[in-house]
Structure 1
Amino acid sequence: MSNSTKNEFEGYKPQSIKILKKFGAKTWSKIRIKTKSNTIPSEGIILPRNQFAPDGFVEIKLKNGYNIGIPLDSTTEIEVLSQEPKMEVKFDPTKISKNKKLPNIALLGTGGTISSRLDYVTGAVIPAFEPSELYTAVPELANVCNLETDVVFKIFSENMKPKYWLKLAKNIAKKVNAGVDGIMIAHGTDTLAYSSAALSFLLSDLKVPVVLVGSQRSSDRPSSDAAMNLLNAATVAGNADLAEVVVSMLGSSAHDYGLIHRGTRVRKMHSSTRHAFRSIDSSPLGMVRDGEIKFFTEDIKRRPNNDIETTAAKNIEEKIGLIYGYPGISCELIDFYVDKGYKGLVLAGTGLGHFPNDTFNSLKRAVDEEIPVVMTVQTIWGYTGMDVYEPGRKMQAIGVIPGQNMIPEVAFAKLSWILGNYDNPVEIKKLITTDIAGEITAREPMNGYQILQGVEDQINFLK
């Protein structure tokens, strides 16, 4: 394919190019298209196609801002309405002056949907982390804070690693001690809860809020939650009387408020909905609506009156295994982690914290080799109860440590921190079973678990 053809049909493949050429259409053509399966014509601008996308489709941007893919075949009819110039998002590079009345916030970027915009030249999502870019994309930020930004990573959140948590913690400590009023961390939502838990342990003596924030839908979509989540997180980071790690994400499908979740008690509970995050075995600390913060509890760490130094842990242990129990799980899986030199294991057991008897010898081997083994529950809600049934008692006798009501990924992050900084077995066990950052609670809220599965109107509460 010649360079001129590539430029006219960016990302498209032979079958699609043949049909587009037939009607004189190319990338950035404004078209009206009709097919056998899509008899009502669609109107939009042809966008570049992802190089990994299958042949036989055209991608257009509709007037309402959505991108759709339309199959191309022998029934396709295309009318070229005009040839549009290449779309590029332009940001005003003018320096933004600081407002002395507003808090100074540092926004650390790690990647993810919230820290990106659509590049219409390539059709790809790219980072957008200059302050001028963010203020242009979300101009309301200028009424909330003075923003400085720093790109720490440019990764999808599934590529996050424990060593990155440590680098992030050290960066946060440096900026907090330099005098910022709050920290925001833009993060992909898939592993956001892992990172919030890890930072809760890696940072000591916090004196400002550290607020992790993400978005479920990219900023080029009309239904994006990025702008509201950023505004809510900035409000919390700059103004909340809070000195701990939290997550701020949408709290309802109505897009009208955000919830503030403790960093060690939060989990992403839906793969795609915008209000995907929930506090587990707990209630949210508070909410943000229209720039106002309301706390639901007094059980929060407040900004200290004295000037203390925030510190980050020196090390982190990366060789921690997280193993979910399931029917038929083999002892070989546990032996694998031991053989590969893993330093700690977190088990997500069934029920009250159970693993099959077949694995006990391997669990004993791990404990005998001074590998801490922590039991959590895969039910997500609830506590380990390893004194109730005989298998639980046997595992405790072996040396498996009950993880109380730590969420499995929180126990994973906590063990990574502990084993990176402590080596005394007695001290390690004590730290595992001690509440450090709200990861272990004395009780769960009475109404926290009640989920009626969409049948509220069919239940008579008076009977």
Structure 2
Amino acid sequence: MEETIGYTGIALSLLNKADAKPGDRIRITRSDGRVFEGILMPRYAISSKPIIVIKLDNGYNIGVRVDEKTIVEVVKTKEAILREAAAGAPATIPLLEESPPAEERPKVTILGTGGTIASKVEYETGAVKPAFSAKEILEAVPEVGFIADISAKVVMNILSENMRPQYWEKIVDEVAKAIDSGVDGVIVAHGTDTMAYTASALAFAFRGLPVPITFVGAQRSSDRPSSDAAFNLVAAVLVAAKAPFAEVVVVMHGETGDTYALAHRATRVRKMHTSRRDAFQTINGRPLAKIYPFERRITLLESPLRSRGAEELEVANGFEEKVALIKYYPGMEPEIIDFLVDKGYKGIVLEGTGLGHVGEWLTESIKRAVDAGVAVVMTSQTLFGRVNMNVYTTGRKLLQAGVIPADDMLPEVAFVKLSWILSRASDLNEVRRLFKLNLAGEITPRHTIDLYPRWPH
């Protein structure tokens, strides 16, 4: 049956026997007695596995393994569902719009770097396995096939904490190749712990960008009932395929349920919780967009820096690895700064207190570092607000020593930005000039009171 696109073998035989077509509501009774009911979906990953894909009432797609003893029944035809909806009857599930043929769907490339998102559950065994061919992704999360024509490639397979600046460069190169091939968007699947660092690196490396680059991850593995992997991936594909902006963003759950996701600008986002599904938050700004995956809808919350298709691809790759990020603490010894200078480090980012301070006994070592040609940048541990080193004596002395204030940049973004700048500039005056430029939305020129979260919300 041509309409049961993608099905072969036992699955196709059962569907033909029931005269079931995509869009029909069906009931699957397996030989083990388990019953599944939902809307029959096409399979955009053609394989011999005996799996039938249905959309559940909660909006998720699942694959149900079947065998010769499985019973498939049509509960209600697609035509009947549409007639009821036209007559004003309450819809039992969100109906999908008709999906265009593969050649008309936007083209999206997914690049895997590791992490929980790059895995799937085998429905027949319940095991979690790495999944990174396009076919495996479409089998694990079938609904993305309705949004875009998916291709996929493994760039690396590492734990998030093992990410390094040299790997950022490799990811930049692979993303550039994908964009050059003519895709409508690129997704980078990444572990959540250092995802904001890598996303920020790409935001600085792409000086011209015609399509979105979407980072996505999962807080909870695919074998857990509360997994956010599928929801986040669908939201990321929607952004990569259809968002009107051409920016580097992180797309993750916007709240603990499955209502919406948020697209955070890469240079303004931070992971703020170890395990919550909505762990990622925009700091000193607002998310760029709200995404409703089940409705296939994107709502802009901020004006984008770049619009889709407005720029030609321009890549400025390269990151200096001799850069350190140091959190100041009471009693921190000057020898830590001296050690980095003696080891040939070219940049130091300090997470200072409050408006941008460290113990006054560090000033001499910091001045020695600057005199040796080391760029020293000051950020704040408070995260919210901006550095102002003109208010107190300590800050003014640090400015006189040559410290560069980081405005309202997140410490990790300042670290990435300094690494990027030092790979192309060594003169401290030029480093200072470039650092003060708002290159990728990393500086929010004006703060309003609503940017600081308060309880109750």
Name the TM tier (shorter chain).
Answer: 0.7 to 0.9
Q: State the shift of 1:253 in Å.
A: 1.0
Alpha-carbon contact 2:232-2:253 (below 8 Å) kept: yes
Alpha-carbon contact 2:247-2:304 (below 8 Å) kept: no
Map residues 39-438 of structure 1 onto 2, 5 A cutoff.
93=47, 99-117=102-120, 126-289=129-292, 290-305=295-310, 308=312, 310-438=313-441
- Cα deviation 1:144-190 (Å, max 9, x = unaligned): 11111010110011000001001111111111111000000100000
Alpha-carbon contact 1:166-1:313 (below 8 Å) kept: no
Please tell me the residue identity of whatever aligns with 2:286.
S
Counterparts of 1:122 and 1:99, CA distance in 2: 30
Q: State the shift of 1:284 in Å.
A: 0.6
Q: State the shift of 1:286 in Å.
A: 1.0
Unaligned residue ranges in structure 1 (runs of 5+): 1-62, 64-90, 457-463
Please tell me the residue identity of whatever aligns with 1:431.
L
Distance 1:350 1:124, change over 3 A: farther
Distance 1:179 1:354, change over 3 A: same
Counterparts of 1:411 and 1:247, CA distance in 2: 18
Alpha-carbon contact 1:330-1:359 (below 8 Å) kept: yes
Alpha-carbon contact 2:377-2:406 (below 8 Å) kept: yes
Q: State the shift of 1:333 in Å.
A: 1.1
Counterparts of 1:367 and 1:119, CA distance in 2: 56
Counterparts of 2:282 and 2:47, CA distance in 1: 40
SS in 1 for 2:117: helix
Alpha-carbon contact 1:92-1:133 (below 8 Å) kept: no
Q: State the shift of 1:98 in Å.
A: 6.7
Counterparts of 1:257 and 1:284, CA distance in 2: 12
Q: State the shift of 1:450 in Å.
A: 2.7
Identity %: 48
Counterparts of 2:163 and 2:101, CA distance in 1: 33
Q: Which moved more, 1:240-249 or 1:419-428?
A: 419-428
Q: Which moved more, 1:438-447 or 1:155-164?
A: 438-447
1:442 corresponds to: 445
Q: State the shift of 1:427 in Å.
A: 1.6
Counterparts of 2:382 and 2:126, CA distance in 1: 40
Unaligned residue ranges in structure 2 (runs of 5+): 1-33, 35-44, 50-99
- Cα deviation 1:307-353 (Å, max 9, x = unaligned): x2x23324220111001011111111111111111110000100100
Give the alignment's TM-score, normalised by structure 2: 0.76
Q: State the shift of 1:228 in Å.
A: 0.7
1:19 corresponds to: none
Alpha-carbon contact 2:128-2:223 (below 8 Å) kept: no
Please tell me the residue identity of whatever aligns with 1:285.
L
Q: State the shift of 1:425 in Å.
A: 2.4
Counterparts of 2:406 and 2:257, CA distance in 1: 36
- Cα deviation 1:403-435 (Å, max 9, x = unaligned): 000100000100111111222322211011111
1:77 corresponds to: none
Counterparts of 1:183 and 1:415, CA distance in 2: 25
Give the alignment's TM-score, normalised by structure 1: 0.75
Alpha-carbon contact 1:116-1:126 (below 8 Å) kept: yes
Please tell me the residue identity of whatever aligns with 2:281.
R
Please tell me the residue identity of whatever aligns with 2:300.
F
The Cα RMSD (Å) is 2.2
- Cα deviation 1:355-408 (Å, max 9, x = unaligned): 101111110111010100000001011100100000000000000000000100
1:71 corresponds to: none
Alpha-carbon contact 2:121-2:140 (below 8 Å) kept: no
Q: State the shift of 1:232 in Å.
A: 0.4
Please tell me the residue identity of whatever aligns with 2:387.
T
Counterparts of 1:124 and 1:419, CA distance in 2: 45
Please tell me the residue identity of whatever aligns with 2:283.
I
SS in 2 for 1:147: strand
